[in-house]
Homo-oligomer: A and B are copies of this chain.
Amino acid sequence: MTDISPLASPFPDLPPISGVRIAVSRAGYKAWDRADLTYVALDAGTVVAGVTTQSKCPSPEVEWCRAALLLGEARALVVNAGNSNAFTGNRGRAAVEAIAARVAGSVGCKPSGVFVASTGVIGVPLPIDKAEAGIDAALAAPEASWQEAAAAISTTDTFPKGAVTTAIVGGKTVTLAGIIKGSGMIAPDMATMLGFVFTDAAIAPGLLQRMLDEANAETFSCITVDGDTSTSDTVLAFATGRAGNAALAHEDDAGADAFQAALTDLCRQLAQLVVRDGEGARKFITVTVEGAETDRSAHRIALSIANSPLVKTAIAGEDANWGRVVMAVGKAGEPAERDKLAIRFGATQVAENGLAVEGYDEAPVAAHLKGDEVEIGVDLGLGDGRATVWTCDLTHGYISINADYRS
């Protein structure tokens, strides 16, 4: 068992969300002594939005959710941990269909109202008997806490991850709560890992989808642990409508901006928790790029820095090796002019106009790098494009976890 990440955050105090009921059970997908099936019952009228992996080899769960999202209605969520069911052909698809049918029969809804997500080893069909027994046990189980659910959806995660926020919509306070799992195989430019957001707000499913897309672009798509992309990445947002607000239907409705801000804030909290549990992580790194030709270009350069093994090992070694940042800017393939480039670590400018700052003093940089929150700032001096991404350092811990993990 891996030690808890030194960057771990305590699990916050998450309130109940009206219309959401959680249970967990032990399906026994792996030989472990813990809950590994999470069941969430959602009141009638719950709408749903989602973003899923851009992998060309998605799991059957991802394909199922994509189809079900077109209808926009949800009555239940089942999350399996320990087996991703990806790359398992017809047997994998059959397992998802069996889960949806079992739950739909119990709830009295269409199978398309049942959302399914699985995480764990690729290539082993999810055992239908274990899934069905786990569902039956969860249906009969007492209500579980958010923290229990966050633990039950985890795999290599070292701590359970949750976040909460609120917004005022049409004079009513709506609550947004979320749980997430993810530690390795984390890369951006797609919905990353398994994340679930629940709110009591009333909101049209199309608007919820657009707002989730926007939040995703600024949060889940801005994190990376290892540049590897899961076949199962899924983020779902469920809105039960129980808060009593006048339902949001358009971006310009009163309260829509507040809800978007709250949703983005929640997603950012959740995304950053994944980085804080990055496999082997000892440092939380914020990479900010500004002065790029466009925001998109800034985003790509920031990711080139955040995904560079040489930058990540330098931070692990608390080494102010800004030359590696130059390297990562240079390899991004985006517009950059060497002689306009400026780089800082924390608040200290280390390079400007394509060379080291005159009389550069490494002492404050060395002090900054000793902390567990490191900032790398790059100014390209070309335009107004900017982006921020979050990553972690690359340590012996990452190698230990991944060279020993058995398929």
Give the shortest distance, in Å, between A191 (CB) and chain B (any CB).
13
- Bound-state CA distance A58–B402 (Å) is 34
B residues in contact with A316, CB < 8 Å = 399, 403
Residues of B within 8 A of A307 (CB): 227
Copies per assembly: 2
| Residue A41 lies at the interface, judged by CB distance under 8 Å to chain B | no
Binary interface profile of A, 328-340, with partner B (CB < 8 Å = 1, else 0)?
1111111111110
Interface-side segment among A194-202, A246-254, A350-358: A350-358
Given contacts A122-B324, A308-B228, A330-B55, contact A354 B87 (CB under 8 A): yes
- The answer to whether A122 touches B56 (Cβ under 8 A) is no
Chain B residue with the shortest CB-CB distance to A332: B56
- A86 touches which one: B54, B185, B326, B336 (CB < 8 A)? B326
- A330 in complex: contacting residue of B57, B323, B354, CB < 8 Å: B57
Find out whether the CB atom of B405 lies under 8 angstroms from the CB atom of A317.
yes
Candidates B227, B319, B398; contact of A313 at CB < 8 Å: B398
Q: Is A89 an interface residue (CB 8 A)?
A: yes
A309 at the interface (CB under 8 A from B): yes
Q: In angstroms, how far is the closest chain B Cβ from the Cβ of A314? A: 7
- A290 on the interface (CB 8 Å rule)? no
Selected from B57, B125, B226, B334, the residue in CB contact (under 8 A) with A341 is: B57
The reply to whether the CB of A71 lies closer than 8 angstroms to some CB of chain B is no
The reply to whether the CB of A258 lies closer than 8 angstroms to some CB of chain B is no
Interface 1/0s, chain A 278-297, versus B by CB < 8 A? 00000000000000000000
User: Which 7 A-B pairs give the minimum distances between C-beta atoms?
Assistant: A122-B323, A55-B330, A57-B330, A317-B403, A229-B331, A321-B407, A313-B402
User: What would 16 more interface pairs be, CB under 8 Å, given A56-B331, A56-B332, A227-B308?
Assistant: A54-B333, A56-B337, A58-B338, A87-B326, A88-B356, A92-B355, A122-B322, A123-B356, A228-B324, A228-B327, A229-B330, A313-B403, A314-B402, A317-B404, A324-B407, A396-B396
